[in-house]
Amino acid sequence: MRVLSSMIRRIFSGITFQAPKPHMLETRMMSGGDKNYETLRVMRPREFVVQVEIARPEKKNAMNKAFFSEIRQCFDSLAVDGQCRAIVLSGSGTLFTAGLDLMDLGHIMALMDDPDTDMGRKALKIRQLLVEWQQSFTAPEKCLKPVIAAVHGACIGGGIDLISACDIRYCSQDAWFVIKEIDLGLAADLGTLQRFPKVIGNDSLARELAYTARPFYADEAKQMGFVSRVFQDKDLLIEGALETASLIASKSPIAVTGTKASLVYSRDHTVEEGLNHIGVWNQGMLQSKDLTNAAVALMEKKTPKFSKL
């Protein structure tokens, strides 16, 4: 555990922590149907918009065992929530996340040090855990509701894994990012190496950042295409993310979910396969009333209204 404590001090050494500002949205109440989580706060600040906030500010929003379980439960639940059409993912306190909670790895260390378990069985158990964690970070991607990551302050290690699986990434001017795993003696294994290069579209830069653990900041993140907008501070960031989420939520949920499904599928398939996928998808979805409602509203120059999913 001394080694883990030393590792944590090294990770936090470059972070300047300061008291968080009271946030104007923190007092808004959850819907009565939302589950209370230990590591997350779920809010519904606008119609059809859900804000999911990592809520471990006293631990710098570090990701522990409970977090990995709850983030998957949360997004799996929102995926089938008819009152949710867009999601904003943010962090409480002074930073988005410090990454993996190294003090919560006791069960893994105990397994690795167990003399009565052979290497093959240890490997299988570790792989099972990694697959579960990978599925947790894939949950925002599999959820067909668009997810906007709103990053302020530090976004370290597992934070890159998580937001790389989101649809849209915004950040505040004080945001900084680092693919930290190589400094801890391991390769990133929860999605960064698979998604990040495709997000930024620059293989050379992706390798540089993964091999060196060099921090990059808001302006560079925007320049490389990792984030699409930079805001002056956290309040403006959250407001901007909610504005975009509200705009998305005003569109046909059938059209939006179909668009996300096609974008995610096409990323990992050929153009021909992607065209076939959206063709099969739309042969059913084009029969939705949303198409008629949108067309009539457009002709009448009115704002269309769409029923819940």
C-alpha span between 8 and 273 (Å, rounded): 45
Task: Indicate if 16 and 156 belong to the same structural domain.
Answer: yes
Give me the number of domains the chain comprises. 2
Task: Give the domain extent around 266.
Answer: 253-300
Mean pLDDT within 106-126: 76
CA quadruple 102, 105, 108, 110: dihedral positive or negative? positive
Summary mean pLDDT of the chain:
88
pLDDT in tens, 35-66: 799 999 999 999 999 999 999 999 999 999 99
Q: What are phi and psi of 291, to 5 degrees?
A: -65, -45
Indicate the residue type of 177.
Answer: F
Q: Does the structure show a pLDDT above 70 at 23?
A: no
Is the residue at 257 inside a domain? yes
Task: Indicate if 12 and 133 belong to the same structural domain.
Answer: yes
* Residue 56, SS3 per DSSP: coil
Q: Does the structure show a pLDDT above 90 at 111?
A: no
**pLDDT band, residue 27 (cuts 50/70/90):** very low
CATH number at residue 77: 3.90.226.10
Q: Does the structure show a pLDDT above 50 at 9?
A: no
Task: Indicate if 245 and 261 belong to the same structural domain.
Answer: no
Residue closest to 251 by CA, chosen among 172, 309, 193, 179: 309
CATH number at residue 291: 1.10.12.10
- Please tell me the predicted confidence (pLDDT) of residue 12: 42
C-alpha span between 223 and 305 (Å, rounded): 37
pLDDT in tens, 151-191: 999 999 999 999 999 999 999 999 999 999 999 999 999 99
- Please tell me the predicted confidence (pLDDT) of residue 286: 85
Is the residue at 27 inside a domain? yes
Task: Indicate if 25 and 170 belong to the same structural domain.
Answer: yes
- Please tell me the predicted confidence (pLDDT) of residue 32: 47
pLDDT in tens, 265-275: 999 999 999 99
State pTM to two decimals: 0.86
Q: Is the model more confident about 24 or about 123?
A: 123
Asked if 170 and 227 touch (Cβ cutoff 8 Å), the reply is: yes
- Please tell me the predicted confidence (pLDDT) of residue 4: 43
- Please tell me the predicted confidence (pLDDT) of residue 16: 43
- Give the Cα-Cα-Cα angle 87, 189, 155 (nearest 5 degrees): 50
Alpha carbon of residue 299 to chain centroid: 37
Task: Indicate if 184 and 264 belong to the same structural domain.
Answer: no
Task: Indicate if 154 and 267 belong to the same structural domain.
Answer: no
